Amino acid sequence: AQSVTQLGSHVSVSEGALVLLRCNYSSSVPPYLFWYVQYPNQGLQLLLKYTSAATLVKGINGFEAEFKKSETSFHLTKPSAHMSDAAEYFCAVSDDGSARQLTFGSGTQLTVLP
Amino acid sequence: ETGVTQSPTHLIKTRGQQVTLRCSSQSGHNTVSWYQQALGQGPQFIFQYYREEENGRGNFPPRFSGLQFPNYSSELNVNALELDDSALYLCASSLTGLRTDTQYFGPGTRLTVL
């Protein structure tokens, strides 16, 4: 079974600083990985996904993530944080069973300080 | 193209009651998944429907049941509500249910059980 671990339930960065949100996965098959963002009182919005093409994946709002098989990681980065990036971020892996459900990490709350 | 919509937005029920939550899939999508997101946690998979048939189920008791209709809209029914059922319920639709498919999430229904 697949699983996802997000290190750091809360991350704070200054506006303009690098954003790094960590995600490690466990999968018995080649994983398909996703990052979603959730703003307060809203549903989930897809930021980017990895489906075994390029290992560096570019998403919306300037975010990108790099798939590293040797480290079983899929960390999310953004070179320069903006106040509007403050939200909760979830890493997810797609299951390989008959139901293609997503298994989510517990989330990382990103705070951007002025 | 309309996105995933859910109704109602908020709902308050008392323990032991029954509730029905509704979801309209994104146009053209034939797969719908339901997730439960407890406060401060990542979403947990409840079940998935593909072409009106249940296609997989997470670790939820039988009092959680669902339906998918010919127009691919869906319902989640929960009987004998318990206090721990208080959560944000998210519906997600996808085009075909493939592992690589993106799941598009609705805004959710916030259920409070008193």
In this predicted structure, what is the pLDDT of residue A31?
83
Tens of pLDDT, residue by residue over B31-83, are 999 999 999 899 999 999 988 899 889 999 999 999 999 888 999 999 999 99
Tens of pLDDT, residue by residue over A22-37, are 999 998 777 889 999 9
**Residue of chain B nearest A97, judged by CA positions:** B56
Amino acid at B54: E
pLDDT at B1 over 60: no
Enclosing H/E stretch for A23 = none
pLDDT at B104 over 60: yes
Enclosing H/E stretch for B30 = none
Local structure of B60: helix, strand or coil: coil
A34's tokens: 């996703």
Task: Tell whether A70 is within 8 A of chain B (Cβ).
Answer: no
A109's tokens: 């709350």
Enclosing H/E stretch for B36 = strand B31-37
Nearest Cα of chain A lies from the Cα of B64 at a distance, in angstroms, of 17
